[in-house]
Structure 1
Amino acid sequence: MSLTDSHCHIDAPEFDADRAELLARAAAAGVTRIIAPAISAAGWPRLREIARAFPQVAPAWGLHPMYLAEHRPEHIAHLREWVERERPVAIGECGLDFFVEGLDPDTQREFLIGQLRLAREFDLPVILHARRAVDEVTALLRRIGGLRGVVHSFSGSRQQAETLCGMGFLLGIGGPVTYDRANRLRSLAATLPISHLLLETDAPDQPDSAIRGQRNEPARLRAIAEAIAELRGETVEHVVRQTATNAAALFNLPGTASQV
């Protein structure tokens, strides 16, 4: 059974002490492909080296809205150079965050629009962060046009989910779906077409309920697949197979890595 973790920050410093062991645990748990989105230009070279060392890691280059203080206008031009040279599987993580205080909305929009235009130009999917900003992100996707991608850690309404699915976008579902109190998310995971769902850990963040308060890691992806399968009344194998197929199609992945 080959799982694809569609969103994991494998380059995070929380993994520096045991990254190889962590990836070995992931492989033992059946996680054979990991999409690793970047968060700032300063981290692109490091993520590239990690992806070269571990072929199951597929990097994406982007500028995360929560790290706005680290971004500079020239980073969009630098991103273009990286995309041309490195040929990532996606642009991202990019988006809007209207939850964290002190992140200027207009500057966030400028960086997001620049990245969406690059994604359209290079025909790459986008990995989107949309916290308390789903409607505005959706509006920008319509405005730019010609885009595809995933809204990771989706936490919006059913109407927002259906709108994004109708536009051909996928929704990333992670650890929060394992919490009983996440009624809206669990209902969406149970009833949305599985063709629009991806599995993700967002490790080292967003641990599932069994490891609440602990460091998350990609080996925990199966717990998310099991939770979604139970909610849907489907087999774990079906959920794993379909979401891996969705990820392969979205990110144009080559043959799935079978081992570390």
Structure 2
Amino acid sequence: MDLIDSHAHVDSEKYDGDRDEVIARARQSGVSRIVAVGQWQGPGDFGGAHALAKAHPGYFFATIGIHPHEVANVPEEDWLELERLAALPETIAIGETGLDYFYEHSPREEQRKWFRHQLELASRLGKPVVIHTRDADDDTFEILRDMTPKAGVIHCFTGGPERARAYLDLGLYLSVPGVVTFKNAEPLREAVRAAPLDRLLIETDCPYLAPIPHRGKRNEPAFVRIVAETIAELKGLPVEEVAAATTSNAMELFRLG
């Protein structure tokens, strides 16, 4: 099968001891491409997503963004650096960006301000946007309705059918994480059953949210195959069809052709 992990943090220090082995296992599992999500880590530091893309051309593809947790801490010069990095031809998308009211590491008003800023940047550059939302769906939806991006994905979607339909009606994709395998995720499974296959992506969000039977352990891109298998089971489809569709969707969204 040909699978794309549409959201991974393989530059995380959690892989510093065995990153090459993690990449090898992903290839062996049928993962043909990985979207490496570049994130601001601290002053002057935007992480290692672009380094991965440079070291593994045609396999890793880099995004760049500033997470809602961090927006209140970013110096002005790094917002300017974001603009520079975002404009690079090798940057395939802006994000992840969005709202997170679960932890509120940054004040809500700051989150909304800089979410809008990054949506505007994506629109200006003609690039898709990778959207994070946690306990903030109402405000996320309102901002997206006002500033509907030309292309984008709700990453790590865990909502139910009603919320899925609202985002789909805005023209967005939904990216399904390993949470879909959890016993308490029936609303998400209902959403997956109802959502058109041509609007779904699959992701690990590794090193977080490992699917069953790996729950509680470090996640890795090889496990995205489990997400594809679970979607196939929920929809009553061959896993090869789910793999082909989600790969095609990711290729179209991120223009990986």
The alignment's TM-score, normalised by the length of structure 2, stands at 0.94
Which ranges in structure 1 are unaligned for 5 or more consecutive residues?
255-260
Is 1:123 equivalent to 2:126 in the alignment? yes
How many positions carry a matched residue from both structures?
Answer: 254
The amino acid of 1:61's aligned partner reads I
Preserved CA contact (<8 Å) 2:35 2:62 = yes
Task: Give CA-to-partner distance per residue, 1:24-54, whole Å, 9 cap, x none.
Answer: 1000000011111122164436322121112
Amino acid corresponding to residue 35 of structure 1 in structure 2: V
Name the CA shift for 1:43/1:19 in 2 (closer, same or farther; >3 Å). Answer: farther
Match of 1:230 among 230, 233, 237: 233
Relative CO higher for 1 or 2, CA cutoff 8 Å, sep ≥ 6? 1
Show the 5 A alignment for 1:1-260.
Answer: 1-40=1-40, 42-44=44-46, 46-55=48-57, 56-68=59-71, 70-254=73-257
Residues 54-94 of structure 1 show CA distances to partners (whole Å, capped at 9, x for unaligned) of 22110000001123354234433221111223441100010
Quote the Cα distance in structure 2 between the aligned partners of 1:50 and 1:69: 27
Cα pair distance change 1:28/1:129, threshold 3 Å:
same
Cα 1:246–1:216, aligned 2, differ >3 Å: closer, same or farther?
same
| Between 214-223 and 48-57, the greater mean CA deviation after superposition | 48-57
Give secondary structure in 2 for the equivalent of 1:7. strand
The RMSD of aligned alpha carbons is 1.5
- Relative to structure 2, which stretch is displaced further, 44-53 or 104-113? 44-53
Note the C-alpha offset of 1:113: 1.0
Q: Determine helix, strand or coil for the equivalent of 1:61.
A: strand
% identical equivalent positions = 38
| Residues 110-137 of structure 1, C-alpha deviations (whole Å, 9 max, x = no match) | 2111110010001111001000112211
**Aligned partners of 2:117 and 2:176: how far apart in 1?**
26
**Structure 1: distance between partners of 2:32 and 2:90:** 20
| Distance in structure 1 (CA, Å) of the matches to 2:100 and 2:208 | 16
**Which 4+ residue blocks in structure 1 deviate beyond 3 angstroms?**
none
- With over 3 angstroms needed to count, the CA separation of the structure-2 counterparts of 1:145 and 1:213, relative to structure 1, is closer
Structure 1 or 2: larger helix share? Answer: 1
What SS class does the counterpart of residue 211 from structure 1 fall into? Answer: coil
Which structure shows the bigger proportion of residues in strand conformation? 2
**Alpha-carbon spacing, 1:229–1:45, altered in 2? closer, same or farther (3 Å):** closer
Per-residue deviation, 1:109: 1.2
Structure 2 counterpart SS, 1:209: coil
Q: CA deviation at 1:101?
A: 3.7
